[in-house]
Amino acid sequence: MSDVVIVTGASTGIGAATARLLGSQGASVVVNYNSSIEAAEGVVAEVKALGGKAIAVKANMGSQADIVRMFAETDAAFGPVTGLVNNAATNTTHRKIETYDFDEVMGVLAVNTAGLLICCREAVKRMSTKNGGKGGAIVNVSSIGALTGSPGRFIHYAGSKGAVDSMTLGIANEVARCGIRVNAIRPGMVDTPIHAKTGQADRMADAALATPLGRAGRPEEVAESIAWLLSDKASLVTGAILNVMGAQR
């Protein structure tokens, strides 16, 4: 495998698990992070130990300038990307509709929606066979919230992920004849650090027991789906949104 893959938000959780799995398959992985260089460098070391190549790149996915720089650093280190995993996302603590703040909502949308679209833009520029690229694959990480709306908790986050689903379908159709496949996954309850960051650490165990499988998913399980969608084994799959949630609804 000679793929060059950017994984956004790759210092922990699903992103880190995906970076490790791709590294074990021989990929050159850009481990994007925004705050914890220690965690990102740890993932880089793990990728290398598994046989891949890796660098850590600090970039805020809510900043167009940072995104453009991240792709430029990738070009310099490994050459043009062949894969992109849009995993980075941000959220807030629980909100009721009466308490939403405009700036806070825009902060979520900047990272989860606008930043993802700009990442896709930069990847398509490099991957498109019509631009002299070699083709490639993009996987966007959505959420079960896109289906449920997350009432009483994260309507703004759910809305940002609903937009991810729509953009995945649109981009996939637009670039299908440019040698680029674009898909998304919708994880359900997955045991990652984001729950603690949004004040849900204590409720996650009880909520997981209520799922059909009776447990939360593991980041490594989600990573397997992402790696498959990036691979040539999924060559006929584009414009798909795969539920990775153990029948959770």
Element (H, E) at 222: helix 219-230
Check: CB of residue 6 under 8 Å from CB of residue 84.
Answer: yes
Check: CB of residue 197 under 8 Å from CB of residue 108.
Answer: no
Check: CB of residue 186 under 8 Å from CB of residue 89.
Answer: no
Q: Within a 10 A sphere around the Cβ of 111, how many other Cβ atoms?
A: 21
- Out of 157, 160, 172, 175, the active site residue is 157
Check: CB of residue 176 under 8 Å from CB of residue 170.
Answer: no
In the annotation, is 157 catalytic?
yes
Please tell me what DSSP assigns to residue 190.
Answer: B
How far is 16 from 56, CA to CA, in rounded Å? 11
Check: CB of residue 20 under 8 Å from CB of residue 43.
Answer: yes
Q: Which residues are catalytic?
A: 157
